[in-house]
Chains A and B, each alone.
Chain A
Amino acid sequence: MPANFAPSADDLLRFAPETILTVAGTVLMVLDPFFAKKAPKLFGNLTIVAFILAIFAAVAANSVPGHAFSNLLIVDGFATFFRVLVLCLGILTVLSSYRYLERENAETSEYHALLLFSVAGQCLMVAANDLIMIFIGLEISSIASYILTGYLRDDKRNNEAALKYFLLGSFATGFFLYGVAIVYGITGTTKLDEIRTVLNNPGTSLAIVGVAAALMIVGLGFKVSGAPFQMWAPDVYQGAPAPVSAFMATAPKAAAFAIFVRIFMTSFQQIAGGWEPLIWISALLSMTIGNFAALTQTNVKRMLAYSSIAHAGYILVALAARSELGTAAVMFYLAAYGLMNVGAFAVVIHISGKGERHLRIEDLAGLSKKQPVTAALLTVFLLSFIGVPLTGGFFGKFYIFRAALESNLVWLTVLGLLNSAVAAYYYLRLLVVMYMYEPGEVTNSLEPLTPGLRMALILPAIGTFFLGVVPNAVLAFARSSSFLSR
């Protein structure tokens, strides 16, 4: 225990994003009784303001990089990248929630407060330098997500999804915690960099550390919905309210990947030879199961859930490359993937209508004739999912497989890219329905895009093109912050 326990000003600045989010969440809860009836949009607006402030705080914190709170936190480029990413995804979620909550008659502050808490947990995770801190962040994020999943408490599917998510999620967290305990038992520390130092000493029993790493892979694999721990994802994404699915498929996943990379590229880099085959298998399984299962789906949300499993597989490929280039690829891909996924879900929210009755793929029929702009924007996201050049998805995929080939993962690359040709089929099917079918009942009676949803579509589309056409800035930042084991 250090003698001086009082945090310095820099420490507080490095912790500012989480502080802002937590305060904002608490204030929102207090405001609820006063404004719930009078100004229901206020909560969303305040949440966005809080997220924007937190982004500024995260960027400001990056100007004083370093450790905080006795080495429990670390603010580096990697942490800042993911903080900004999850905060942006939070904003997009709020934007796409306005209309949804209004439609479902469920505009409360607690929805937004939970969102703020969840993102706060994710910000904490990605900046944590200590397994216990990571665990705390993970739990803050997860518990908020469990509740959000069951947010519409009168809805049967919401309840089922929440229960499933909670039970399986807790189980997975248990595995993770078990791994943490073993690591602590072997190394006597929970700090990531100290674990690395201890493992460097000859005489440490690497076999048992390997077991711990494997347990952590189970826990984290669940959080990122990587096969064979992906079973929950389709049910939960399908059952949860659509904006929450959009959120869960992106922000918590990005944060989980961030700690996955941070733990394994910092602490366990020494035993990379041992965990790499596990990740290799998980990556291949995720891509294959995700893509092939998505082929047969008729429900858009479920299809996007399987697609998110497949995309987790691509990201695991980058992790299997276990190089700095791979880390940079993970960062870039998560940004690209987050944008396109939130955008695609925004269209789902738009189409689904009250009570999410319209979720079949056929419900998109003829969208291009009724709302050409909506259809065109969804096309951008789908092309990005497929990996067509000039979109962020293509560049991300390119970057991942470049890292994989550089680490001699030739077969994983070939199988992964062929997988993405299979994936093209089910994304194209949405395009087929949108552009090549006559407008159906749903599209004929579709309401116009509300301003919030419009923003939730246009901003990710701009981002997708930005990452695909002029990725220089993001790439350079990812490259410069991909060296974790300093």
Chain B
Amino acid sequence: MNLLDVLIALPAIGFAVTLLLPRAQEQMIRLFTLVVSLAAFLLSLGLAFGFQTGQSGQQFVTNVIWIQNPEIHYHVGIDGLSLWLIILSTFLTPIAILLSWKSIHFQIKEFFAFLLLLEVGLVGVFAAWDLFLFFVFWELVLVPMYFLIGIWGHDRRIYAALKFFVYTMAGSMLMLTAIIFLYNLAGTFDYTSILDQLGSGKIALSHTQESLLFLAFFIAFAIKVPIFPLHTWLPDAHVEAPAAGSVMLASVMLKMGTYGLIRFCLPMFPNAARQNAPWIVILAIIGIVYGALVAMVQPNMKKLVAYSSVSHLGFVVLGIFSFTQMGLDGAVYVMLAHGISTGALFLLVGFLYDRRHSLAISDYGGVATVAPWLSTLFLITTLASIGLPMLSNFVGEFLVLQGSAQANFTWTVFAALGSILAACYMLWLYQRVFFGEVTDEVRHHVPDIDLREWACVVPLIIMMVWLGVFTQTFLPAVSATNAQILDQSKMNVPLRVSAPAHLAGGGNIHAR
């Protein structure tokens, strides 16, 4: 039992214990879950310190048989790709708990328990190396999030929760079909073994088979990301979820989709991935521009941030399907940066909602006068979100645009529009909420932020700067894994990609 197992078991045990705590002891429940999640976070830092960057393959591996026939393993491990996503999950869980400290008034026990269960699922998804186990965690995540949205959400919470669940379920079912199909071919759920068999030609997929399997995985992930036009569940779910739910949803759960694309779609189905890349990239660019344009006209703050996620995630998909080292590195970087910055945005919007009980932009104005610190923090987050240099998102978006320019310059031109539009909608939001006349409601109901809220935001602000400045903390591990995945995604391309000399290391799908 290594650190990673403890990291999965700890919140799971925490979940069970929380359910057994007496209902009336509300403060104890809050404290207990906070302690558990903080402990999980500290443990997850151990992963980062113990991680050997130079080493290829998985680390912190546990591989034991769970079910004998069909042979299913509890096989977990991490590499450069999953390391930071796991830490992102454990980092945000205590923040989400702290954020909900006062804003949840009923069924407190269940709420905090579900946050811990969510953490189990998230860490598990990023750690699983057995396709069956991956699917188990993938579906497990749905359950707590469904309840979080449905019980503690806003007015249309039930509709949003149902839509979220059924939408994701439909995608998952296609993925399950593909997983079973692969199992029947390979005789194992073990991902590394399946990859080996695919790479060595032991399993020969016909062109149609590969395309269909790719699509089955792709649709499941695309719904989660979400890629335009499968994004319609997202605004509903984000808007209706309680603040903590929105934070977890936007910051980590969306990354499950992009993680899946990188982890599974590229290496397992390289030919199909490359063949389908052109239209996927087009969808990604539509998502970037469309998300930004729709965000601009939203009267509701949460909805605005939700659509901005569609736009940002478009960058991630663009980076992935550019099949360049930079593009992939950038994609992973945007995943982390978006996790931090959008998490912070939802958090701050949650603070505003706690005060004014409204999400409508028109109900605000002049907040900067009455709550200067809140406004400052919001501004930093806004700047991070629109990609100001030295802050988190800049690095990732720059790398994605650079990578996609290597592949096809036209893509970059259109995608860069998204960055410009991001500045428009975010700054306009900032202007309308924080500047202007102070209304009486705002003056009386919007105090500046308190100690607990500082404790929520400051770690996120620190991470924004860290991600923006000390890129070397994250990139080497990520790059090493990406290089390997990129290599696998070329493995059995029949027409070998001949990259021009100046693009060595990066494939160019138009160079065929």
Contact = CB atoms under 8 A, between A and B. Distances in A.
B180 A413 contact: yes
B107 interface: yes
B186 to A, nearest CB: 13
Interface string B368-398: 0000000000000000000000000000000
B11 to A, nearest CB: 15
B70 interface: yes
A431 B174 CA distance: 24
A253 B177 CA distance: 27
A278 interface: no
A432 interface: yes
A377 interface: no
Given A417-B173, A424-B169, A472 B143 contact: no
A196 B176 CA distance: 36
Interface stretch (A163-171, A185-193, A244-252, A399-407): A399-407
A421 B170 contact: yes
B77 interface: no
Contacts of B140: 388-390
B173 A425 contact: no
Given A368-B107, A428-B162, A436-B158, A475 B176 contact: no
B150 A420 contact: no
Contacts of A157: none
A231 interface: no
Contacts of B146: 428, 431
Contacts of B143: 383, 388
B157 A436 contact: yes
Contacts of A390: 136, 140
Given A436-B158, A472-B67, A417 B165 contact: no
A389 B136 contact: yes
Given A398-B180, A421-B166, A389 B150 contact: no
A401 B135 CA distance: 15
A470 B74 CA distance: 12
A418 B173 contact: yes
A435 interface: yes
Given A424-B166, A425-B162, A398 B69 contact: no
B166 A428 contact: yes
Contacts of A67: none
A476 interface: yes
B151 A406 contact: no
Interface in B156-184: 157-158, 161-162, 165-166, 169-170, 172-174, 176-177, 180-181, 183-184
Interface residues of B, number: 35
Contacts of A425: 162, 166
A420 B146 CA distance: 17
Interface in A424-474: 424-425, 428-429, 431-432, 435-436, 470-472
B134 to A, nearest CB: 10
A414 B177 CA distance: 7
A479 B137 CA distance: 26
A369 interface: yes
A476 B136 CA distance: 21
Interface residue SS majority, chain A: helix
Contacts of B165: 424, 428
A3 B147 CA distance: 68
Contacts of A471: 67
Contacts of B161: 428, 432, 436
B142 interface: yes
B180 A402 contact: yes
B67 A475 contact: yes
B142 to A, nearest CB: 7
A428 B68 CA distance: 32
Contacts of A417: 173-174, 176-177
Given A388-B142, A390-B140, A479-B69, A405 B166 contact: no
Contacts of A405: 177, 180-181, 184
Interface string B245-261: 00000000000000000
A29 B143 CA distance: 48
B453 interface: no
Contacts of B147: 431, 435
A421 B142 CA distance: 13
Contacts of A401: 176-177, 180
Nearest to A386: B169
A420 B162 contact: no
Contacts of B172: 421
Contacts of A388: 139-140, 142-143
B224 to A, nearest CB: 14
Contacts of B180: 398, 401-402, 405, 413
A418 B170 contact: yes
A388 B142 CA distance: 9
A269 B367 CA distance: 76
A420 B151 contact: no
Contact of A421 (B137, B150, B173): B173
Interface in B128-153: 132, 135-137, 139-140, 142-143, 146-147, 150-151
Interface string B66-103: 01111000000000000000000000000000000000
Given A390-B136, A425-B162, A436-B151, A414 B183 contact: no
Given A417-B174, A417-B176, 10 more contacts: A389-B139, A402-B180, A413-B180, A421-B166, A431-B146, A431-B147, A432-B158, A435-B151, A470-B67, A471-B67
9 contacts: A383-B143, A394-B139, A398-B180, A414-B174, A418-B170, A431-B147, A432-B162, A436-B161, A471-B67
Interface of B: 67-70, 107, 110, 132, 135-137, 139-140, 142-143, 146-147, 150-151, 157-158, 161-162, 165-166, 169-170, 172-174, 176-177, 180-181, 183-184
